[in-house]
Amino acid sequence: MATQSANRLAGRRILLGISAGIAAYKSAQLARLLKQAGCEVRVVMTEGAQAFITPLTLQALTGEPVRTSLLDPEAEAGMGHIELARWADIILIAPATADLMARLAQGMADDLLTTLCLASEAEKVMAPAMNQAMWRHVATQRNAERLAQDGWRLLGPDSGDQACGDVGPGRMLEPEAIAAELLTAPGKGQAAAQGLHIVITAGPTREPLDPVRYLSNHSSGKMGFALAAAAAELGAKVSLISGPVSLPTPAGVTRIEVETALQMHEASQQLAGECDIFIGCAAVADYRAETAAEHKIKKREGEETLTLRLIKNPDIIAAVADRRDAAGGRPFVVGFAAETRDLEAYARDKLERKRLDMIVANDVSTAGLGFGADDNAALLMWRDGQGEGGESLPPQPKLELARAVLRQALSRLAEHPVH
């Protein structure tokens, strides 16, 4: 891993942006680690960042002058901010405050750092850092989602004790963790899934009872859409079979919209024979009405109950996993298990019973995680010719969790190709 890390970053030109958060003191160690990995590092600081750490400290660590102003006459005599934007291979902002995230999400260019971000075609990464309430605020979550859609890769934040005395998500990842992410993740032009076709199901299904009512569940589709975005980042051809949700389609993803479990089953079977990885993330209704009423079911006087006859829907993920002798072969199959108790036992049973290659298990009873939330945690389990394995992923933004799930799936696929 160390050799791969050096190859990944050696000679890369990293523009380290530092905004006004107490975590700015960690940026000095981050700059040092990047230099040790063989990077060229130049630093841009916002005005507020200089209240937490001095430009002289970063200059000593990088051996380069630190830029702090968009209107520096000496630098701008040669269009310095444009040259700096063209120079960078990677723009890394650590820490990225809530204010900076908001300005970038709106496309503002009101200081040197935001201007460079708009003017550069470099790979863009940020490590958010803020109070836990600020991170959880709906506006910050909306900005984080928008930035991810715009191509930013968000690392963290971590959870734990904060400088303000609060405890929760919002801590900037430690410099070692940020450096490790940069060292191991494929960058621009280094697509780990190039040439692979990944099919993902997402969202709920709706099973009609009559023209105005249906059976469904609380799935928002966020996890499946995060997986699709992460797969596209890695260079894969991505087909997203989505139930009825209002989320925008991630860039580079082909979306197939369905409503019922039968429609999702049909679309899955059509694509399963031509894909390399199939991820069943959708919350598919287990049952549907035996017969949907032609007209709205009316309340009847004197009747206190209503009896519905339900029949089983097809098991989509099991059907894909059972395609061993089908034309086109069988993809690597990843299932999801949303549980409220006995997470590991139920996940292992589903992994074995449905003959999956890997399963992602979520405890959806945990507040702030799972259905409808922006964060999630998971237990990964897999089985292959070498036996069983597993990995526990702590609470984190769903896009980061999606990247971790795909890294493990691609690793398992590379070691034990299905086709």
Pairing of strands 167-171, 332-339: unpaired
For residues 363, 355, 225, 151, the Cα torsion angle rounded to the nearest 10 degrees is: 110
Confirm whether residue 317 is marked as ligand binding.
yes
Q: What distance in Å separates the CA atoms of residue 92 and residue 388, rounded to the nearest whole number?
A: 37
Beta-bridge partner residues of 166? none
Closest CA to 155 of 404, 413, 333, 405: 404
Helix, strand, coil shares, percent, the chain, to 5:
35, 25, 40
Confirm whether residue 165 is marked as ligand binding.
no
Q: Which residue has the tokens 């339900």?
A: 310
Closest CA to 200 of 223, 180, 218: 223
Confirm whether residue 285 is marked as ligand binding.
no
Token readout for 66 is 């630190």
Q: What distance in Å separates the CA atoms of residue 153 and residue 92, rounded to the nearest whole number?
A: 9
Confirm whether residue 48 is marked as ligand binding.
no
**What secondary structure letter does DSSP report for 49?**
G
Q: Is 295 helix (H, G, I), strand (E, B) or coil?
A: coil
Q: What distance in Å separates the CA atoms of residue 198 and residue 228, rounded to the nearest whole number?
A: 8
Confirm whether residue 314 is marked as ligand binding.
yes
Catalytic residue check, 275: no
Centroid of chain to Cα 52: 30
Confirm whether residue 336 is marked as ligand binding.
yes
Confirm whether residue 316 is marked as ligand binding.
yes
Q: Which residue has the tokens 């299905």?
A: 418
Would you list the DSSP string of 150-197? Answer: TTPEE---EEEE-TTS-EEEEEPPPHHHHHHHHHHS--TT--TTTT-E
Confirm whether residue 280 is marked as ligand binding.
yes
Confirm whether residue 312 is marked as ligand binding.
no
Preceding peptide of 95 cis, ω within 30°: yes
Residue in 39, 117, 164, 275 annotated catalytic: 164
Q: What distance in Å separates the CA atoms of residue 265 and residue 261, rounded to the nearest whole number?
A: 6
Q: Which residues are part of the catalytic machinery? A: 164
What residue numbers does the annotated binding site for CTP cover?
A: 280-282, 286, 296, 314-317, 336, 350, 354
What residue numbers does the annotated binding site cover?
A: 280-282, 286, 296, 314-317, 336, 350, 354
